[in-house]
Protein backbone atom coordinates (compact mmCIF):
# COMPACT_ATOMS: atom_id res chain seq x y z
CA UNK A 1 0.00 0.00 0.00
CA UNK A 2 2.74 2.36 0.87
CA UNK A 3 4.41 1.77 -2.45
CA UNK A 4 1.24 2.72 -4.35
CA UNK A 5 0.95 6.10 -2.66
CA UNK A 6 4.49 6.90 -3.49
CA UNK A 7 3.94 6.16 -7.13
CA UNK A 8 0.84 8.30 -7.11
CA UNK A 9 2.79 11.27 -5.70
CA UNK A 10 5.53 10.74 -8.21
CA UNK A 11 3.08 10.71 -11.10
CA UNK A 12 1.36 13.78 -9.77
CA UNK A 13 4.70 15.53 -9.38
CA UNK A 14 5.68 14.71 -12.95
CA UNK A 15 2.31 15.96 -14.18
CA UNK A 16 2.75 19.22 -12.34
CA UNK A 17 6.26 19.59 -13.65
CA UNK A 18 5.05 18.89 -17.20
CA UNK A 19 2.27 21.43 -16.89
CA UNK A 20 4.70 24.15 -15.71
CA UNK A 21 7.08 23.34 -18.55
CA UNK A 22 4.29 23.73 -21.12
CA UNK A 23 3.27 27.04 -19.51
CA UNK A 24 6.81 28.38 -19.75
CA UNK A 25 7.06 27.18 -23.34
CA UNK A 26 3.79 28.87 -24.26
CA UNK A 27 4.89 32.01 -22.51
CA UNK A 28 8.04 32.03 -24.59
CA UNK A 29 6.10 31.29 -27.74
CA UNK A 30 3.41 33.88 -27.20
CA UNK A 31 5.69 36.62 -25.91
CA UNK A 32 5.47 39.75 -28.11
CA UNK A 33 8.69 40.89 -29.70
CA UNK A 34 9.68 44.43 -28.71
CA UNK A 35 8.13 46.97 -31.11
CA UNK A 36 10.46 49.18 -33.06
CA UNK A 37 9.58 52.79 -33.74
CA UNK A 38 8.21 53.34 -37.26
CA UNK A 39 10.66 55.16 -39.50
CA UNK A 40 8.91 58.26 -40.86
CA UNK A 41 8.86 58.65 -44.64
CA UNK A 42 10.59 61.91 -45.64
CA UNK A 43 11.16 63.57 -49.03
CA UNK A 44 14.90 63.98 -49.69
CA UNK A 45 16.05 67.64 -49.82
CA UNK A 46 16.96 69.11 -53.31
CA UNK A 47 20.69 68.89 -53.90
CA UNK A 48 22.48 71.41 -56.18
CA UNK A 49 24.44 69.63 -58.90
CA UNK A 50 28.16 70.10 -58.64
CA UNK A 51 29.46 72.38 -61.42
CA UNK A 52 32.49 71.27 -63.34
CA UNK A 53 35.69 73.32 -63.42
CA UNK A 54 35.45 73.71 -67.22
CA UNK A 55 31.96 75.19 -66.94
CA UNK A 56 33.03 77.71 -64.31
CA UNK A 57 36.08 78.67 -66.34
CA UNK A 58 34.01 79.14 -69.50
CA UNK A 59 31.47 81.25 -67.64
CA UNK A 60 34.21 83.45 -66.20
CA UNK A 61 35.70 83.94 -69.66
CA UNK A 62 32.32 84.97 -71.08
CA UNK A 63 31.76 87.50 -68.28
CA UNK A 64 35.25 88.97 -68.56
CA UNK A 65 34.96 89.17 -72.34
CA UNK A 66 31.67 91.02 -72.03
CA UNK A 67 33.18 93.52 -69.59
CA UNK A 68 36.20 94.02 -71.85
CA UNK A 69 34.02 94.60 -74.91
CA UNK A 70 31.91 97.11 -73.00
CA UNK A 71 34.99 99.06 -71.87
CA UNK A 72 36.48 99.03 -75.36
CA UNK A 73 33.17 100.16 -76.85
CA UNK A 74 33.00 103.05 -74.38
CA UNK A 75 36.56 104.16 -75.06
CA UNK A 76 36.50 103.76 -78.84
CA UNK A 77 32.85 104.40 -79.54
CA UNK A 78 33.87 107.24 -81.83
CA UNK A 79 35.10 104.62 -84.27
CA UNK A 80 31.54 103.35 -84.68
CA UNK A 81 29.35 106.28 -83.69
CA UNK A 82 29.76 109.78 -85.11
CA UNK A 83 27.24 111.35 -82.74
CA UNK A 84 23.88 111.01 -81.02
CA UNK A 85 20.60 112.90 -81.13
CA UNK A 86 18.50 112.35 -77.99
CA UNK A 87 20.50 109.14 -77.47
CA UNK A 88 19.75 107.96 -81.02
CA UNK A 89 23.13 107.19 -82.62
CA UNK A 90 24.39 108.47 -85.95
CA UNK A 91 26.87 105.89 -87.11
CA UNK A 92 30.20 106.41 -88.80
CA UNK A 93 28.85 104.43 -91.72
CA UNK A 94 26.06 106.97 -92.25
CA UNK A 95 28.51 109.86 -92.04
CA UNK A 96 30.99 108.22 -94.40
CA UNK A 97 28.22 107.48 -96.88
CA UNK A 98 27.22 111.15 -97.07
CA UNK A 99 30.83 112.35 -97.24
CA UNK A 100 31.66 109.84 -99.95
CA UNK A 101 28.67 110.86 -102.04
CA UNK A 102 29.55 114.56 -101.76
CA UNK A 103 33.34 114.61 -101.77
CA UNK A 104 34.44 111.05 -102.46
CA UNK A 105 35.58 111.53 -106.05
CA UNK A 106 37.72 114.59 -105.30
CA UNK A 107 39.30 113.10 -102.19
CA UNK A 108 40.00 109.78 -103.88
CA UNK A 109 41.57 111.61 -106.81
CA UNK A 110 43.89 113.42 -104.40
CA UNK A 111 44.85 110.17 -102.68
CA UNK A 112 45.57 108.50 -106.02
CA UNK A 113 47.78 111.42 -107.10
CA UNK A 114 49.69 111.36 -103.81
CA UNK A 115 50.30 107.64 -104.08
CA UNK A 116 51.52 107.93 -107.67
CA UNK A 117 53.86 110.72 -106.63
CA UNK A 118 55.22 108.70 -103.72
CA UNK A 119 55.78 105.62 -105.90
CA UNK A 120 57.59 107.60 -108.58
CA UNK A 121 59.78 109.36 -106.01
CA UNK A 122 60.82 105.95 -104.65
CA UNK A 123 61.70 104.79 -108.17
CA UNK A 124 63.84 107.90 -108.63
CA UNK A 125 65.58 107.41 -105.28
CA UNK A 126 64.13 110.57 -103.76
CA UNK A 127 63.62 110.69 -99.99
CA UNK A 128 62.44 113.50 -97.73
CA UNK A 129 64.04 113.58 -94.29
CA UNK A 130 62.76 115.11 -91.06
CA UNK A 131 65.45 117.75 -91.40
CA UNK A 132 64.15 118.64 -94.88
CA UNK A 133 60.66 119.07 -93.43
CA UNK A 134 61.94 121.21 -90.56
CA UNK A 135 63.83 123.49 -92.94
CA UNK A 136 60.83 123.85 -95.25
CA UNK A 137 58.57 124.61 -92.30
CA UNK A 138 60.96 127.29 -91.06
CA UNK A 139 60.99 128.87 -94.51
CA UNK A 140 57.21 128.99 -94.37
CA UNK A 141 57.28 130.55 -90.91
CA UNK A 142 59.72 133.21 -92.12
CA UNK A 143 57.60 134.01 -95.17
CA UNK A 144 54.46 134.38 -93.01
CA UNK A 145 56.16 136.54 -90.42
CA UNK A 146 56.31 134.20 -87.41
CA UNK A 147 54.87 131.20 -85.63
CA UNK A 148 51.70 133.02 -84.60
CA UNK A 149 50.83 133.82 -88.20
CA UNK A 150 51.43 130.20 -89.19
CA UNK A 151 49.17 129.01 -86.36
CA UNK A 152 46.46 131.43 -87.51
CA UNK A 153 46.75 130.18 -91.08
CA UNK A 154 46.45 126.58 -89.99
CA UNK A 155 43.36 127.40 -87.93
CA UNK A 156 41.82 129.35 -90.80
CA UNK A 157 42.15 126.40 -93.19
CA UNK A 158 41.35 123.75 -90.59
CA UNK A 159 44.77 122.10 -90.78
CA UNK A 160 46.82 120.43 -88.09
CA UNK A 161 50.59 120.26 -87.82
CA UNK A 162 50.39 116.71 -89.18
CA UNK A 163 48.43 117.97 -92.21
CA UNK A 164 51.04 120.69 -92.75
CA UNK A 165 53.84 118.13 -92.57
CA UNK A 166 52.12 115.95 -95.18
CA UNK A 167 51.69 118.90 -97.54
CA UNK A 168 55.28 120.01 -97.12
CA UNK A 169 56.47 116.48 -97.86
CA UNK A 170 54.44 116.38 -101.08
CA UNK A 171 55.70 119.79 -102.12
CA UNK A 172 59.33 118.82 -101.56
CA UNK A 173 58.78 115.55 -103.40
CA UNK A 174 57.32 117.36 -106.39
CA UNK A 175 60.09 119.95 -106.40
CA UNK A 176 62.84 117.33 -106.33
CA UNK A 177 61.18 115.23 -108.99
CA UNK A 178 60.92 118.30 -111.19
CA UNK A 179 64.56 119.22 -110.63
CA UNK A 180 65.63 115.70 -111.50
CA UNK A 181 63.37 115.09 -114.49
CA UNK A 182 63.28 118.47 -116.22
CA UNK A 183 65.95 120.87 -117.41
CA UNK A 184 64.53 124.39 -117.53
CA UNK A 185 66.62 127.30 -118.77
CA UNK A 186 65.13 130.78 -118.70
CA UNK A 187 66.77 133.17 -121.15
CA UNK A 188 67.42 136.90 -120.71
CA UNK A 189 64.92 137.59 -123.48
CA UNK A 190 62.16 135.80 -121.55
CA UNK A 191 63.04 137.77 -118.42
CA UNK A 192 62.89 141.08 -120.30
CA UNK A 193 59.58 140.17 -121.95
CA UNK A 194 58.06 139.36 -118.59
CA UNK A 195 59.36 142.61 -117.09
CA UNK A 196 57.89 144.67 -119.92
CA UNK A 197 54.55 142.86 -119.76
CA UNK A 198 54.20 143.55 -116.03
CA UNK A 199 55.39 147.15 -115.72
CA UNK A 200 52.58 147.92 -113.28
CA UNK A 201 54.14 145.49 -110.81
CA UNK A 202 57.62 146.97 -111.19
CA UNK A 203 56.88 150.67 -111.44
CA UNK A 204 59.97 152.69 -110.55
CA UNK A 205 62.18 149.59 -110.47
CA UNK A 206 65.03 148.74 -112.83
CA UNK A 207 65.17 145.34 -114.54
CA UNK A 208 68.49 144.42 -113.00
CA UNK A 209 67.01 144.90 -109.54
CA UNK A 210 64.41 142.18 -110.09
CA UNK A 211 66.11 140.03 -112.74
CA UNK A 212 66.86 137.12 -110.39
CA UNK A 213 63.43 137.27 -108.84
CA UNK A 214 61.77 137.13 -112.26
CA UNK A 215 64.05 134.28 -113.34
CA UNK A 216 63.14 132.19 -110.31
CA UNK A 217 59.44 132.82 -110.85
CA UNK A 218 59.58 131.89 -114.53
CA UNK A 219 61.63 128.79 -113.70
CA UNK A 220 59.06 127.59 -111.19
CA UNK A 221 56.24 128.30 -113.62
CA UNK A 222 57.95 126.34 -116.40
CA UNK A 223 58.75 123.45 -114.07
CA UNK A 224 55.13 123.23 -112.98
CA UNK A 225 53.89 123.15 -116.57
CA UNK A 226 56.30 120.38 -117.50
CA UNK A 227 55.57 118.51 -114.29
CA UNK A 228 51.79 118.53 -114.84
CA UNK A 229 52.19 117.34 -118.41
CA UNK A 230 54.50 114.55 -117.26
CA UNK A 231 52.22 113.58 -114.37
CA UNK A 232 49.14 113.39 -116.61
CA UNK A 233 51.02 110.96 -118.84
CA UNK A 234 52.20 108.95 -115.83
CA UNK A 235 48.64 108.69 -114.57
CA UNK A 236 47.38 107.64 -117.97
CA UNK A 237 49.97 104.86 -118.14
CA UNK A 238 49.22 103.59 -114.62
CA UNK A 239 46.69 100.94 -113.69
CA UNK A 240 44.16 102.71 -111.47
CA UNK A 241 40.87 101.20 -110.30
CA UNK A 242 38.26 102.84 -108.08
CA UNK A 243 35.25 101.27 -106.39
CA UNK A 244 33.37 103.99 -104.54
CA UNK A 245 30.59 104.42 -107.12
Residues whose CB is less than 8 angstroms from the CB of residue 159 and which lie 6 or more positions away in sequence, other chains included? 167
Confidence of residue 25 (pLDDT cuts 50, 70, 90): very low
pTM beyond 0.85: the answer is: no
Beta bridge partners of 91: 81
> What pLDDT digit, counting tens, does each position of 87-127 carry?
888 888 898 899 999 999 999 999 999 999 999 999 999 99
- Distance from C-alpha of 164 to C-alpha of 151, rounded to nearest angstrom: 11
Q: Where in the chain are the domains?
A: 182-245
Helical ranges in the chain per DSSP H:
2-30, 53-75, 92-123, 130-144, 147-156, 161-181, 188-197, 207-237
Nearest to 178, CA basis, from 116, 238, 220 = 220
**How high does pLDDT run on average in the chain?**
79
Sign, CA dihedral 236-237-240-245, equals positive
Amino acid sequence: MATKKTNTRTASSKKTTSTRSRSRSQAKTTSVAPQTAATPTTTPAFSVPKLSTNFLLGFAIVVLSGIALFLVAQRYRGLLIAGTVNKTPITRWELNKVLTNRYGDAVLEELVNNELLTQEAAKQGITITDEDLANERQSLVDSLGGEENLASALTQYGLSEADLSDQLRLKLTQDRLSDKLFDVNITDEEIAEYFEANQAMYEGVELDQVREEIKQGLTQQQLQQEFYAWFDQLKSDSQIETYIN
